[in-house]
Each structure stands twice: as structure tokens, then as C-alpha cells.
Amino acid sequence: MKIKRREIFAGSAVAVLMMTTAACGSSDNYGGKAPAVQPVGDSKQVGAGSGYGDPYGSGAGGGSGAVPAGAAGKTGSAGQLKVSEIAGLGPGVTDSEGFTLYRFDKDTPKPPKSNCEGDCAAAWPAVSADDASVSAGIDAALLGSVERADGTKQLTLAGWPVYRYSKDAKAGDSFGEGVGGTWHVLGPGGKPAGASKGSGAEKEEKKEDKPAAEAKGGELTAVQNPKLGTLVEDAEGKTLYRFDKDSAWPMKIGCVDACTDTWKPAKPVDKDKVNGIAPELIGKVKRPDGSEQLTIDCWPVYTFTGDKEPGDTTGHNNKGLWFAITDKGKKAKVVG
């Protein structure tokens, strides 16, 4: 009798798993209310060094996180701010020693407020407001300060808190540009450097002027990568990825909080506007924060901020956890 009960229980468990799997890939799942999920493990553990990528740029892309000498830890005064030529961007602001200065899109200028603390502040040292002055090309009236959580005064330019970047090892380096899609070289007027040339924040605004789906004739497209096989790109040509710490059956999400600064959850798409991907594989899932995320064969998918050009696959095999996703929802092969 005990054996029979065990057999019945095992059969029921398999049936539940089969129903979950079938529902995940079905059109009913997509068309109805998106299933809610909970994060895998303790979300407080998400962040640099945990396999999620580096939201603060201290080792983005799978580096060791070691910080070189140079701007690392420099929180002192900028001295006399100067306008310097930044490669590929044009005029940008540097301190008196020639180190590039930055602004953070998640801060606010009105009123000035810094949202970079803790690990973020270690990678992006706040510039002290003490003894700051300007040279030709910068309006002294734009200088100001904001009080940080620790009580220190941080320099602001046009209301934007000012930072250095820990991975800039010498004067003239500008490795912080574009990190996480939220950090930009500071322009003389407080805007991102190069904004007048259609880069930085202004470039992002221009992208929104034209519907993304119009650019490639669809919201998702299967493309042939010569090394990795058939991959999926969004309407802007960004490669989509899946994460081994997520789960498809049942659907669970392991990339939350700081992880999403580096790995952006892809937005749901109209499954009738996909090219080269079976529509029944397209779905969506409700994230712990209430937003909805695209799924392919039940796997939540993401874009990687380290990919700078359409077709880039720099996030593939990142920390052995992130992989470009194929048109079947599988992990793309790993090549040597």
C-alpha cells in the first residue's frame, strides 16, 4: 500500500510539472495575466562579484574588480576645473590634474542629490566641493555643492554631483563613459559631454523618436552569428541573454536590484511581430518589482550594457552564468 501511495504521489508531481511547462510556453500564458515570480535566494546578495556583472563599473564584464592607482579613492578637491578634449566626445570637464570628471544619470540636479553610496561610491569617488574654481569655458555660476549622506560636501556643476572614476589610471583616461548606460563624462554646461553631437543622453532621446520596431521591421529577430549560431536580437540590434540563476520551470528570477543596472530586463513584445522565432515561444513574466519582462521558451531575457554596437555579444559566457539566447530559447554554444 505504501508503495502504491508513493507511485501515486510521484505521478502527481510529474503531472504538475508537465502542466507548468505546458502553460509556460502556451499562448494562454502570454495573453493572460503574466505569472508572478520571486527572486532566487537573497536579493541582498546581488551585486558586484556575485556573478551578475558589475553595476558600478569596478569590474564590468567579468574582471577581477581590482582598482588601479590613479583616480581610485580620490575624493579631494578638483582644484581648477578645465575644459579638455575627450576622445570621441569633444569638450569635457577635467580636474586640475587632468582626471576626467563624470555625472550619474540616477542623480538629480533640481534639487541636487547624489544616489551613489556604498560600493558605488568606492568605484565612483565623489569630488569634494572645497576650493573648486573654474578656467575658461566653464561658467563659475554653475558651481555648487550638495551634502552627502556622510555629511561631506560634494561638488556640483549645474546641479549635477561630480565624480571621478576609479578605473581611470591616468590623466586623460575616460573609461567611465557609458558604464551601465548611466555614467557620462561631464560636459562644460553640466550635460553629458558630446550631447550636442548626438551622443550620451541626447543620443538616447533621439533613439526614442523613432519606434524601435520600425528600425528592423520587427520587435525581435533571429540572426545568424558566425561563431555562436542563431541568436535573438531586439529591434535595436542588441543581443538578448539568459541567466543560469534564473529558472524556467517554474519561472524564477535571480537578477534583481543592482544586477539590473548591468543586465537590463527586456520588455515584452508583440509575439506576432517577431522574425525567425516561433511565436509560441514568446511570453512574459511579472518581476518581483511588478514590471513585466520578455521570456523566450519561459526563460527571462536581458540585454547587456557592455554591448556597445548592434550585434555585440560581449556578455556571452560572462562569469559562466550569462549566455546569448538562441531562437529556440537555448544557451548559445561556448567557443574557445
* Model pLDDT for residues 194-220, shown as the tens digit of each residue: 864 444 444 443 433 333 333 334 589
Cα-to-chain-centroid distance, residue 276:
26
d(CA 71, CA 169): 6
Three-state DSSP class for 180? helix
Q: How confident is the model at residue 249 (pLDDT cuts 50, 70, 90)?
A: confident
Report field, pTM of the whole predicted structure over 0.75: no
How far, in Å, are 30, 78, 212, 218, 322 from residue 233 at the CA level? 20, 42, 12, 10, 15
d(CA 5, CA 19): 21
The answer to whether residue 177 scores a pLDDT higher than 80 is: yes
* pLDDT (0 to 100) of residue 119: 87
Question: Which set of grid coordinates corresponds to residue 76?
Answer: 579631494
Give the mean pLDDT of 114-118: 92
The mean predicted confidence, pLDDT, of the chain is 77
* pLDDT (0 to 100) of residue 2: 47
* pLDDT (0 to 100) of residue 132: 92
d(CA 274, CA 259): 27
- Residue written as grid cell 558651481: 143
Is the Cβ–Cβ distance between 3 and 261 less than 8 Å?
A: no
* pLDDT (0 to 100) of residue 29: 40
302 or 30: which leads in pLDDT: 302
The answer to whether residue 309 scores a pLDDT higher than 70 is: yes
Q: How confident is the model at residue 235 (pLDDT cuts 50, 70, 90)?
A: confident
* pLDDT (0 to 100) of residue 218: 57
Cα-to-chain-centroid distance, residue 289:
16
